[in-house]
């Protein structure tokens, strides 16, 4: 779990602020069924390794972040948000849990603050190596078990870990997914990275227009490259008309269909207004079925 400060601002400036955050974190986690295995409190972001409970993430993060933001604003005589949106969460496969904890403890090392994780008090590493008090909400034994490392070897094991990790740009992926309909990003998985997309109930997912043209080409025998040509013979015009009608039934916009065909928006509108012949309507239905969608006429018959 990663919580970032707004505009990546360096808002954690001293040990007093880190101690205040940890106090609020511990108070909230004692009332939650989530387990904290490791943490790193950096100047502009916070990293956590958590075992998720049955309760929602917001059930405990709001009890930490909101009062901390109010306290920090009062301390610095500032106004406005402190945290950038809700925390980003990533699932981790069992064989990567230890690597994740080492990665979190090495945050100050990668940031150039210290040369070894044991030299920083910004993370849970001192608690793991017996150099600091272990608060009751920090589950060190559970963390060591998941790392499969003994306590006396933990410091050298973390120091030997030089892994870097690039997290996916979830905002960009979400924007790209919304182009295809009622899709949203579910919890990504790291090591390796997978970003699942989930459709809302009864959602219609819009296909890539190029895939529609490919299927029209298969049905009509007209090459995909011919759609954008200046030719206007009967078979080509019919194929374009089939593509427009099929694309419309699949939820594509006129602009998307026109761009895929390589024609102007007005041309696509004229093709959409044309009534298909019976054999062409059959081809439209065939293309639509290949995307798992029934045509309007089929839906009427089934009703």
Select the more confidently predicted residue: 169 or 181: 169
Residue 293's pLDDT is what? Answer: 62
Q: What is d(CA 289, CA 295) in angstroms, rounded to the nearest whole number?
A: 7
Q: What is d(CA 73, CA 9) in angstroms, rounded to the nearest whole number?
A: 13
Whether the CB-CB separation of 200 and 248 falls below 8 Å is answered with no
Residue 298's pLDDT is what? Answer: 47
Residue 300's pLDDT is what? Answer: 43
3-class secondary structure per residue, the chain = CEEEEHHHCCCCCCHHHHHHHHHHHHHHHCCCCCEEEEEEECCCEEEEEEECCCCCCHHHHHHHHHHHHHHHHHHHCCCCCCECCCCECCEECHHHHHHHHHHHHCHHHHCCCCCCHHHCCCECHHHHCCCCCCCCCECHHHHHHHHCCCHHHHHHHHHHCCCCCCCCCHHHHHHHHHCCECEEECCCEECCCECCEEECCCCCECCCHHHHHHHHHHHHCCCHHHCCCCCCCHHHHHHHHHHHHHHHHCCCCHHHHHHHHCCCHHHHHHHHHCCCCHHHHHHHHHHHHCCCCCCHHHHHHHC
Whether omega for the bond prior to residue 192 falls within 30 degrees of 0, making it cis, is yes
Q: Which residue has the tokens 């090392």?
A: 109
Lowest mean pLDDT among 81-90, 255-264, 291-300: 291-300
Q: What is d(CA 149, CA 229) in angstroms, rounded to the nearest whole number?
A: 65
Q: Which residue has the tokens 């070897």?
A: 153
Q: In this model, does residue 264 exceed pLDDT 90?
A: no
Q: pLDDT band at residue 195, thresholds of 50, 70 and 90?
A: confident
Pairing label, strands 35-41, 45-51: antiparallel
> Which domains are seen in the chain, by residue range?
2-160 (3.30.70.1290), 170-199 (no CATH), 209-302 (1.10.1750)
pLDDT by residue (tens digit) across 50-108?
999 999 999 999 999 999 999 999 999 999 999 998 898 999 989 889 999 999 999 99
> Mean pLDDT over residues 246-256, rounded?
88
pLDDT by residue (tens digit) across 20-39?
999 999 999 999 999 999 99
Average pLDDT of the chain to the nearest whole number: 88
Residue 207's pLDDT is what? Answer: 86
Q: pLDDT band at residue 165, thresholds of 50, 70 and 90?
A: low
């Amino acid at each position: 779990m990663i919580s970032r400060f707004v505009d990546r601002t360096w808002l954690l400036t001293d040990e007093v602020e880190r101690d205040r955050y940890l106090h609020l974190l511990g108070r909230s986690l004692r009332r939650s069924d989530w387990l904290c295995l490791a943490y790193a409190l950096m100047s502009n972001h916070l990293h956590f390794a958590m075992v998720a409970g049955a309760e929602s993430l917001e059930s405990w993060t709001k009890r930490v972040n909101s009062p901390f933001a109010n306290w920090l604003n009062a301390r610095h005589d500032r106004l406005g948000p402190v945290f950038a949106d809700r925390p980003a969460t990533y699932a981790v496969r069992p064989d990567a849990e230890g690597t994740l904890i080492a990665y979190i403890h090495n945050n100050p090392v990668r940031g150039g603050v210290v040369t070894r994780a044991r030299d920083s008090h910004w993370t849970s590493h001192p608690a793991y190596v017996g150099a600091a008090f272990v608060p009751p909400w920090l589950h060190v034994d559970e963390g060591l078990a998941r790392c499969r490392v003994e306590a006396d070897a933990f410091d050298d094991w973390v120091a030997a870990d030089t892994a870097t990790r690039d997290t996916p740009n979830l905002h960009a992926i979400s924007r790209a997914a919304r182009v295809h309909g009622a899709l949203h990003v579910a919890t990504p998985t790291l090591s390796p990275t997978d970003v699942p997309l989930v459709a809302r109930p009864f959602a219609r997912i819009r296909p890539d227009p190029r895939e529609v043209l490919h299927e029209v080409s298969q049905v009509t025998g007209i090459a995909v490259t011919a759609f954008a040509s200046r030719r206007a013979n009967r078979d080509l015009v019919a194929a374009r008309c089939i593509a427009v009608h099929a694309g419309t039934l699949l939820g594509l916009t006129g602009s998307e269909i026109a761009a895929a065909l390589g024609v102007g928006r007005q041309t696509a509108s004229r093709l959409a207004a044309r009534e298909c012949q019976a054999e062409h309507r059959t081809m439209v239905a065939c293309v639509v079925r290949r995307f798992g969608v029934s045509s309007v006429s089929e839906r009427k018959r089934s009703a």
